[in-house]
């Protein structure tokens, strides 16, 4: 097929292959049964795009649309064009729609350039912000041969389930709810299951609003959900996120996760779609998820394993002082002082003065950089990883084969303890793991 074919020609081409009459065939794309005079080039099709050719089901209109889904007066609906052509203004208010149509003629090249009001972050292969295509499928069988009863008129219709009804055209499926999803418009389609999350706060800057940080006019931009709808360009948004991420100043919200507010300090402006932080790139987004997991563990009373190179989040009984990194490095430590587990009282950490210097408000040092600048840091890490402290006197002890029964080599101590449990050696230790 060629892009200059119309739908009628496609039907004639495939009718013999399907064993159907031309009049019985319907070509479906993005929730619509396409009109015969519609050209493929008008459908915004990319490479490897899928058109669904089916025998259209005939359903009474009253049965097709549930009583609570009746098309409201004034809701736009274009049965002969796909959603990619009819939903240019989904993210805009009614006044913004009028402004866009007034500022740019519908047939002008500038208007056509502004048509893609949907943006996605394509993780593969583009790895960048791209224009997005809105698609629809049956929410039950996931088939793309699905026709909607009305166009979605707001983001809730697209993002929330069971908002727009329709008809699944697949034989044997009578489901009537649409599922909307997005594809990257930049690279060839990888099938109907190829999808990505929308960046619904990223919009085309047809209003020519300046960025609140650099004051440049960029396109596209991110619009915060604050009452003032502050605008920031994507480059400044990345810098804003990176500075907060490096300072670990993201906000933890139990309903949203690890997120950020409007940089202008507006109330109720937290970004509730954390997929927007994918703009930072894969490596930094993974850092964000890691920090977010740590914040969650700490917020519910958990503790992080202090062993170098581990840091696993652990949820243990709040009254339990002896913590074991189960499923991780198996290090056993004291909840109170985060040192190797010990029986007696916690002793002041020798690095206490240094840590207090790091957290003072008078002079701030990045702890990660400080850790790299310690003269004997490598030796400390090696000792901590390869040894365990005596539970009584805390003398670092290295096990070099043999059984799990340890005897402290310190002359004044001589404590008998278990390498596995890091407690006093008992008959239970002897019976369960004397030799491993």
Cβ-based neighbour number of residue 224 at 10 Å? 22
> C-alpha distances in angstroms, 273 versus 30, 203, 218, 278?
24, 14, 22, 10
Catalytic residue annotation: 403
Q: In the 8-state DSSP scheme, what is residue 161?
A: S
Pairing type for strands 251-253 and 396-397 reads unpaired
Range among 259-263, 306-310, 368-372 with highest mean pLDDT value: 259-263
Among 197, 57, 59, 66, residue whose Cα is nearest residue 120: 197
Predicted confidence (pLDDT) at residue 74 exceeds the cutoff of 50: no
Sign of CA dihedral 133, 134, 140, 146: negative
Token pair of 364 as six digits: 């701030």
Mean pLDDT of 392-397: 80
For the entire predicted model, the pTM comes to 0.62
Q: Which strand (E) or helix (H) includes residue 113? A: helix 109-113
Give residue 363's pLDDT.
47
The answer to whether residue 59 scores a pLDDT higher than 70 is no
pLDDT at 66 over 50: no
Give the whole-angstrom CA distance, residue 429 versus residue 412: 24
Task: Tell me the per-residue pLDDT of 416-431, one tens digit each, with 9 for 90 and over.
Answer: 989 888 888 898 888 8
Rounded Cα–Cα distance for residues 145 and 156 (Å): 22
Question: Residue 433 corresponds to which tokens in the numbers above?
Answer: 């793991």
What is the residue-wise DSSP string for 329-376? Answer: T--EEETTT-SBP-SS-----TTHHHHHHHH-SSS---HHHHHHT-TT
**Does residue 298 contact residue 314 with C-beta atoms inside 8 Å?**
no
Q: What is the mean pLDDT of the chain?
A: 77
pLDDT at 358 over 60: no
């Amino acid at each position: 097929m060629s892009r200059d074919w119309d739908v009628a020609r496609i039907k004639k081409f495939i009718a013999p292959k399907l064993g159907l009459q031309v009049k019985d065939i319907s070509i479906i794309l993005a929730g619509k049964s396409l009109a015969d005079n519609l050209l493929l080039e008008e459908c915004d099709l990319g490479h490897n795009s899928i058109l669904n050719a089916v025998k259209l089901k005939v359903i009474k209109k009253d049965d097709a649309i549930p009583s609570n889904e009746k098309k409201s007066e004034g809701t736009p609906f274009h049965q002969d064009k796909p959603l990619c052509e009819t939903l240019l203004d989904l993210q805009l208010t009614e006044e913004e729609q009028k402004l866009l149509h007034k500022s740019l003629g519908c047939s002008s090249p500038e208007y056509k350039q502004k048509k893609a009001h949907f943006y996605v972050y394509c993780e593969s292969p583009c790895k960048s912000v791209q224009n997005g295509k809105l698609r629809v499928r049956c929410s039950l069988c996931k088939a793309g041969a699905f026709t909607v009863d009305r166009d979605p008129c707001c983001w809730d219709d697209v993002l929330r389930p069971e908002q727009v009804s329709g008809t699944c055209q697949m034989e044997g499926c009578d489901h009537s709810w649409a599922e909307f999803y997005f594809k990257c418009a930049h690279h060839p389609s990888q099938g109907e299951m190829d999808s990505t999350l929308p960046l619904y706060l990223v919009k085309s800057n047809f209003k020519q609003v300046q960025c609140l940080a650099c004051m440049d006019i960029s396109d596209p931009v991110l619009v915060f959900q604050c009452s003032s709808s502050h605008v920031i360009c994507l480059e400044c948004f990345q810098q804003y996120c990176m500075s907060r991420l490096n300072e670990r100043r993201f906000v933890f919200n139990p309903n949203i996760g690890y997120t950020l507010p409007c940089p202008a300090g507006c109330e109720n402006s937290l970004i509730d779609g954390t997929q927007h932080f994918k703009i930072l790139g894969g490596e930094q987004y993974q850092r964000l998820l890691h920090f977010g997991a740590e914040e969650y563990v700490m917020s519910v009373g958990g503790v992080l394993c202090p062993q170098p190179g581990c840091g696993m989040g652990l949820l243990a009984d709040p009254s339990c002082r002896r913590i074991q990194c189960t499923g991780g490095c198996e290090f056993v430590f004291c909840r109170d002082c985060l040192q190797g587990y010990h029986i007696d009282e916690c002793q002041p950490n020798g690095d206490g003065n240094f840590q207090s210097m790091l957290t003072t408000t008078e002079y701030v040092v990045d702890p990660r950089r400080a850790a790299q600048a310690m003269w004997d840091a490598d030796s400390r890490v090696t000792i901590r990883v390869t040894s365990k402290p005596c539970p009584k006197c805390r003398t670092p002890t290295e096990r070099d084969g043999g059984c799990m029964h340890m005897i402290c080599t310190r002359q004044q101590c001589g404590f008998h303890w278990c390498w596995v449990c890091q407690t006093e050696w008992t008959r239970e230790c002897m019976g369960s793991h004397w030799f491993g």
